[in-house]
Amino acid sequence: MARSRVGQVAVVTGASSGIGWELARQLAAEGAKVALVARRAEPLQELQKLITEAGGTAMIAVADVGSREQVEALFRSVAEQLGPIDLVIANAGVGRPTFLDPVNMTDVEDTFRINLMGVIYTLSAALPTMLARKSGHLVAISSLASYRGLPGESAYCASKAAVNVYLDGLRIHLHNTGVRVTTVCPGFVTTPMTVANTFHMPGLMTAEYAARKILRAIGRGTKVYNFPWRLCMMVKLSRWMPDWVMLRFMDDYNTDAAKPHSAKNDA
């Protein structure tokens, strides 16, 4: 049975757009007090205004989740302004293609810094207080891309796969502590990270729809939530396909990945 969110304190990273924006908006609409976290202040201010005008409560915390010091500082600020934190959704992430010649090493390193270390910094900052209270919920937004390496997306897929494994271990480690852990792996969602994609995106969802599904799964205490299920089955089955079959199916996917183009981010 889903728990009421009225009065809960929730932190959502990557709240400046896409899934993060919708998660924060919907949490506030359900009565939660929400901390909006991202690197860009202006869209956070816009979202805060939207929430407060609807009668909700939200605060802004501008921070780069790839900086441990900034993350720890923002959690102290949230606790001081809103109270003990009940729910953390580590949603901030970037999507940048992996080039071949030369390898865009700075982008690769930045992808892991934000997508993996940003999740670890975020969840770890909330953990001590949750353990002391014997209550709390840690959530990370991963991706169905975590289940299969894709051409031109090696760093992105690997960073999300690492998130899955890290949360698996964390969830087992936290057994009987009162702190729950949920890994969310969505498929294609209409966000700034996917708007530049020119290839077909099966099962494409709106951010509003995806956020609603995610919050339901969180409310149920789901351990790992993969959706939409048809795309999930396709991705998992693809792990058993020979490389030549994958190439045939994905001949239009990141065909220009060897050349620099615009980075996509939702951090």
Active-site residues: which are they? 156
- Stated length of the chain: 267
Distance of alpha carbon 227 from the chain centroid: 14
Contact 111, 66 (CB under 8 A): no
Nearest in space to 145 (alpha carbons), one of 104, 105, 194, 192: 194
Nearest in space to 149 (alpha carbons), one of 253, 227, 229, 66: 253
Crossing angle of the two packed helices 207-220 and 18-29, in degrees rounded to 10 = 60
Residue 192's contacts (CB-CB under 8 Å, 6 or more residues apart) are: 17, 18, 264, 265, 266
Q: What is the DSSP letter of 97?
A: P
Residue 247's contacts (CB-CB under 8 Å, 6 or more residues apart) are: 151
